[in-house]
């Protein structure tokens, strides 16, 4: 399947939320033969000072539990850049209250193109609750994109 559209997921540190939805989306999109590919980036990597390793161990555990196996080397979080916005056909930030002010400060000219989900970070939501909410939203998004592609 040729990739024609890029979906950019954003969170603060590109460690837990945006990484989970990126990897889950890409897995489901491949299964549905969608011409979309997700990427993820952080809006403010410097705020993720408690992050250990390249990706949240909780994300890895949940993905393994869903039968999603990742490559041995998982990349470290990446800071969003202007070219990431320009490459994306769709941009979704994971929590409006947290991410709108960061985007308004750092990337104000892209703000009108960003959609917002309402997925709070730990500790305002448990990992279990956050993952369940994100999985449901990704599944709905993949279904909607599959309907429009049909």
* pLDDT at residue 146, rounded to an integer: 92
pLDDT recorded at residue 38:
97
Record the pTM.
0.93
Rounded to an integer, the average pLDDT of 27-31 is: 94
Q: What token pair was written down for 102?
A: 């960061």
Which of 33, 150, 148 has its CA nearest to residue 90? 148
Query: What is the tens place of the pLDDT at every residue in 98-148?
Result: 999 999 999 999 999 999 999 988 778 778 888 999 999 999 999 999 988
Q: Domain residue spans in the chain?
A: 5-149
- Could you tell me which CATH number the domain at 5-149 has? 3.40.50.2300
Residue 2 has pLDDT above 90, yes or no: no
pLDDT digits (tens, 9 = 90+) for 55-100: 898 889 999 999 998 877 789 999 999 999 999 999 999 999 999 9
Confidence band for 1, pLDDT divided at 50, 70 and 90: low
């Amino acid at each position: 399947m040729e990739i024609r559209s890029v979906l950019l997921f954003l969170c603060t540190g590109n460690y837990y939320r945006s990484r989970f939805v990126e990897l889950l989306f890409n897995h489901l999109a491949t299964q549905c033969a969608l011409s979309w590919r997700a990427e993820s980036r952080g809006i403010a990597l410097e705020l993720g000072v408690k992050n250990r390793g390249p990706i949240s161990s909780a994300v890895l555990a949940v993905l393994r539990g869903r039968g999603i196996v990742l490559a041995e080397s998982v990349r470290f979080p990446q800071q969003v850049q202007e070219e990431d916005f320009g490459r994306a056909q769709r941009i979704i930030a994971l929590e409006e209250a947290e991410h709108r002010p960061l985007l308004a400060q750092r990337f104000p000219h892209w703000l009108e193109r960003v959609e917002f989900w309402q997925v709070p970070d730990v500790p305002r939501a448990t990992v279990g609750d956050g993952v369940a909410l994100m999985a449901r939203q990704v599944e709905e998004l993949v279904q909607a994109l599959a309907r429009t592609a049909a």
